[in-house]
Amino acid sequence: QVQLRESGPGLVKPSETLSLTCTVSGYSISSTYYWGWIRQPPGKGLEWIGSIYRSGSTYYNPSLKSRVTISVDTSKNQFSLKLSSVTATDTAVYYCVRGALMVVTARFDCWGLGNLVTVSS
Amino acid sequence: DIQLTQSPSFLSASVGDRVTITCRASQDISSYLAWYQQKPGKAPKVLIYAASTLESGVPSRFSGSGSGTDFTLTISSLQPEDFATYYCQQFNSYVPLTFGGGTKVEIK
């Protein structure tokens, strides 16, 4: 059974960099599928942040692209998110996800439990 | 960006009711649409992909239809565990991938 688990600080100061890691179990991230991040501000809807393929190809939401880096560590079966220069508007639950993209069967079929990150001094 | 507009944003229904949620895309997305269910404090769960294909393990009372710009999610007989928020998501244009604003289904 595939499981994804986010880890990282729950509190980040304004202007600093938010860093989260997703550990994948039950499936090799070197295989097929894209791996990515989606966030949800408290009481609001879902926003796709970006995705990465095993080759290292990345796709970012243009609204965040200048501040986002997603990377993969296949040796640890993990992938990571870095979001720089955070403000209070980046406060959200951050989910790591597995997705099939660029195919008619595209969807995000596995999600982590979510990690609430609050941006505050 | 492709905008997805869901309606209604909120609906109140009773157990056993037939419920329909619509999702309209700002441009043609073919059948590259998925539906998710999210319960409070939980991660979303995919219900439907490719507009009308039921994800494995999802009850058959859920169904999806549509193509192009207009899509629907139907729950044929609402069950107590179906009270949740539902989101559509398009995969036709992946920069960026976008979600609808959500439809909250509450108990009447």
Inter-chain touch A107–B91, beta carbons under 8 Å: yes
Longest dimension (CA), chain B: 39
- Contact state of B96 with A61 under an 8 Å Cβ cutoff: yes
In angstroms, the Cα distances linking A117 to A19, A83, A90 are 10, 11, 8
User: Closest partner residue to B50 among A62, A63, A105, by Cβ?
Assistant: A105
- In this prediction, residue A32 has a pLDDT band, given cuts at 50, 70 and 90, of confident
- Coil/strand/helix, residue B44: coil
Pairing of strands A11-12, A115-119: parallel
Mean pLDDT of B76-98: 93
Say which of B46, B50, B96 has its CB closest to residue A109.
Answer: B46
**For residue A88, what is the DSSP state?**
G
Percent of residues, chain B, with pLDDT higher than 70: 100
Percent of chain A scoring above 70 in pLDDT: 100
Q: How confident is the model at residue A43 (pLDDT cuts 50, 70, 90)?
A: very high
User: Quick one: how many helices (H) and strands (E) in chain A?
Assistant: 0, 11
Please judge whether A106 and B32 are an interchain contact, meaning their C-beta atoms are less than 8 angstroms apart.
yes
Residue B108: the pLDDT is 87
Q: What is the pLDDT of residues A76-106, one digit of tens each?
A: 999 999 999 999 999 999 999 999 887 888 9
Determine the Cα–Cα distance for residues A24 and A32; give it in Å rounded to an integer: 14
**Cα–Cα distance measured from residue B96 to residue A50, given in angstroms and rounded to the nearest whole number:** 8
Strand partners, B62: B75
| A53 Cα to chain B: minimum distance (Å) | 13
pLDDT digits (tens, 9 = 90+) for B39-58: 999 999 999 999 999 999 99
Q: What pLDDT does A56 receive?
A: 86
Exposed/middle/buried for A10, CB within 10 Å: 0-12, 13-18, 19+?
A: exposed
